[in-house]
Amino acid sequence: MSDQEQAETAADAEDADVEATDEEPETAGLGDGDFVRLAYTIRTADDGEVIDTTDEETAEEAAIDTDEYEFEPRIVTLGAGHVFPSVESALEGEEPGDAGTVDVPATDAFGEYDPEEVETVTADKIDDDDKYPGAQVQIDGRQGRLETIIGGRARVDFNHPLAGEDLEYEYEVLDVIDDREEQAAGMLSVYLQETPDVRIESVTETEETVTEDDDGEETTETEAVEKDVLYVTATQAMQMNQQWMFQKQQIAQDLMGRLDLDRVVVEEVIEGGGMGGLGGMMGGMGGAGDIEDALEDIDVDADEIAAELDEE
């Protein structure tokens, strides 16, 4: 190859490098495990009835009670079952600013309507206040809608109220959430329908490791370990939330797994009208200051107590 040909080849390579550098890097878009803030409105496909929305104005137009809920964009986690599978598929690869509408078939939403889920039960299983057509009733742990009640018998529909309904899911991707505290609050809001106060702190704990050598002699080594702990302030509504009461362990495990946490601590906060009733009790005991002094004088040795119990 001549010197001129070599120079032309080098120039072409240089131009190719410049073009590659000028190109914007490709982004993968949203994927499994991403936390995304969504604005959305869900309607029934046949008549356009709004069944859920993050927009307060849309809720007011649909005559949805706006006093009971907060209407604002929600944080959802892809891959966690927070949205319908067909919606999750549509969100894959999307970026902030993207929007669209997804047709969600009934099978992908709340299931097909099953006539066998309409059952006859004895009327005495229904509270007197709920003995009217259309009432939402709880029968043997199942949620249903009362259709008719005649004498001592009642017909109850245990299908989901939206069973058999195709839906339209209109969405806009607002942004991707990287802050772990926001992610935690977003996950909890999906479960609780409210957003509790949360914080993540790194705490140092001491862990002991016991090793045994060939002679059977044990050696204890102490190591300082950093732990990431999520603190959640429990509201009164949260403590009364049935999903939280029955699934708190599962919810905590989900939080720890997705946010790489070591522990979840729920803090109970009691607010209200002072300590009037307890004040008299404390006065009879010599006052709070005397109690603190007395506690400081108590020396309890847990090992000594355990030894005494073993002797008994």
User: Could you tell me if 256 and 148 lie in one domain?
Assistant: no
The CA-to-CA distance between both ends of the chain, in Å, stands at: 99
Give residue 274's pLDDT.
54
* Domains in the chain, number: 4
Give residue 285's pLDDT.
47
Give residue 217's pLDDT.
81
Outline where DSSP puts E strands in 73-129: 74-77, 99-104, 118-122
Question: Is residue 60 situated within a structural domain?
Answer: yes
User: Could you tell me if 187 and 248 lie in one domain?
Assistant: yes
Question: Is residue 246 situated within a structural domain?
Answer: yes
User: Could you tell me if 171 and 61 lie in one domain?
Assistant: yes
Question: Is residue 17 situated within a structural domain?
Answer: no
Give residue 113's pLDDT.
94
User: Could you tell me if 185 and 258 lie in one domain?
Assistant: yes
User: CA 203, CA 231: separation in Å to the nearest integer?
Assistant: 12
By the 8 A CB rule, do 41 and 53 touch?
yes
Q: Exposure of 219 by Cβ count < 10 A (0-12 exposed, 13-18 middle, 19+ buried)? A: exposed
User: Could you tell me if 60 and 170 lie in one domain?
Assistant: yes
Three-class HEC string of 128-151: HHHCCCCCEEEECCEEEEEEEEEC
User: Could you tell me if 307 and 264 lie in one domain?
Assistant: no
Give residue 12's pLDDT.
59
Contacts by 174-181, CB closer than 8 A, 24 or more apart? 174/36, 174/37, 174/38, 174/39, 174/73, 174/96, 175/36, 175/37, 175/96, 176/30, 176/34, 176/35, 176/36, 176/37, 176/96, 177/35, 177/36, 177/37, 177/75, 178/35, 180/259
Give residue 89's pLDDT.
94
Question: Is residue 3 situated within a structural domain?
Answer: no
User: Could you tell me if 260 and 221 lie in one domain?
Assistant: yes
pTM assigned to the model: 0.68
Range of the domain at 59: 35-110+165-176
User: Residue 95: which CATH number?
Assistant: 3.10.50.40
User: Could you tell me if 259 and 144 lie in one domain?
Assistant: no
User: Could you tell me if 169 and 51 lie in one domain?
Assistant: yes
User: Could you tell me if 101 and 234 lie in one domain?
Assistant: no
Per residue of the chain (312 residues), give pLDDT as tens.
555 555 555 555 555 554 544 554 555 689 999 999 999 999 999 999 999 999 999 999 998 876 767 788 999 999 988 999 999 999 999 999 999 999 999 999 999 999 999 999 998 999 889 989 999 998 988 999 999 999 889 999 999 999 999 999 999 999 999 999 999 999 998 888 788 899 999 999 888 888 887 777 878 888 888 999 999 998 888 888 888 888 889 989 999 999 999 999 998 877 665 555 454 444 444 554 554 554 444 455 545 545 555 555
Question: Is residue 145 situated within a structural domain?
Answer: yes
User: Could you tell me if 87 and 219 lie in one domain?
Assistant: no
Question: Is residue 28 situated within a structural domain?
Answer: no
User: Could you tell me if 170 and 208 lie in one domain?
Assistant: no
